[in-house]
Amino acid sequence: MNLVVLLGVTLLLLAHLSSAKRALIIVDVQNDFLPGGSLAVSEADKVVPVFNKLRKEAHWDKIFQTQDWHVEKHVSFVNNHEGAEVFSTVKLEDGTEQRMWPAHCVQNTKGAEFHPDLIVEETDEKNQTVDSYSGFFDNNKASQTELHEKLQEENITEVYIGGVALDVCVMSTCVHAVELGYKTYVIEDASKGLSKESVDAALAKLVSLGVTVVNSSDIIMPSNKDEL
């Protein structure tokens, strides 16, 4: 075991022994982002068993599920901009640079539903993000969702974040979690992104901001298993 790994494991162990309260934030594990969906992220369905295992085999004070939740006429949909190309960026009337996505996660459609095998409990806090990549704020940071408030109510100090897409919504959620003062972990094997290049760039950016990259096996520790 090299020194960095040893240090990481030690820090995780200390974090676990302290009174820190921790939350799991599952970002957008919805049909449209999974293979077969309208904005499919390759292999994204592989995160489902990882989350189901994490839910059962690690200790969480609270589990959150975010859900991308758009109106049909959403400004980010390429079909709502005549002549625009998918994945290009267009300048909106208010000056906002908007990436063009295929229509996805339209409210009350199959594509917006969670993957059928993802365990979703009644006690999970579910939050729908109408106009944002992040679970915390909209894209212009003008309005806040209830996520921060709910985490504070539960006295959560540490957040473990994963889901899809790592290089879009997971990244934005992590960035805001750090800004709001949470000790933030991104779970690499519980996340999938659009491309290897942008995933590598996203992870590097997150590390530079102070986010710790972990795998689920680092979180599921013998001491956690004993709590079952």
Ligand X SMILES: *[C@@H]1O[C@H](CO)[C@@H](O)[C@H](O)[C@H]1NC(C)=O
Q: Does 68 bind Zn ion (CB under 5 A)?
A: yes
Single out the residue of 218, 121, 214 nearest to residue 174, CA to CA: 214
Q: Across the strands, what pairs with 159?
A: 23, 184
* 16, 59, 99, 126: which one binds ligand X (CB under 6 A): 126
Q: Does 46 bind ligand X (CB under 6 A)?
A: no
Question: Rounded CA gap, 105 and 124, in Å?
Answer: 20
Q: Are 159 and 25 in contact (CB under 8 A)?
A: yes
Using the contact rule CB under 6 A, the part of the chain among 11-19, 71-79, 192-200, 210-218 near ligand X is 210-218
Q: Does 139 bind ligand X (CB under 6 A)?
A: no
**Can 28 be counted among the known catalytic residues?**
yes
In the DSSP assignment, the letter for residue 75 is T
Question: Rounded CA gap, 9 and 218, in Å?
Answer: 7
Question: Rounded CA gap, 165 and 87, in Å?
Answer: 14
Least distance to ligand X, CB of residue 87, Å: 26
Least distance to Zn ion, CB of residue 101, Å: 6
* 113, 131, 138, 188: which one binds ligand X (CB under 6 A): 188
Q: What sign has the CA pseudo-torsion 211, 9, 155, 64?
A: positive
Q: From the candidates 21, 46, 53, 126, which is the catalytic residue?
A: 126
SS3 22: strand
**Nearer residue to ligand X within complex by CB, 78 or 206:** 206
**Can 126 be counted among the known catalytic residues?**
yes
Least distance to ligand X, CB of residue 66, Å: 9
**Can 174 be counted among the known catalytic residues?**
no
- Percent of residues in the chain assigned helix, strand, coil, to nearest 5: 35, 25, 40
Least distance to Zn ion, CB of residue 19, Å: 36
Amino acid identity, position 9: V
Q: Does 146 bind ligand X (CB under 6 A)?
A: yes
Catalytic residue list: 28, 126, 169
- Interface with ligand X by CB under 6 A: which residues? 126-128, 145-146, 154-155, 188-189, 213-215
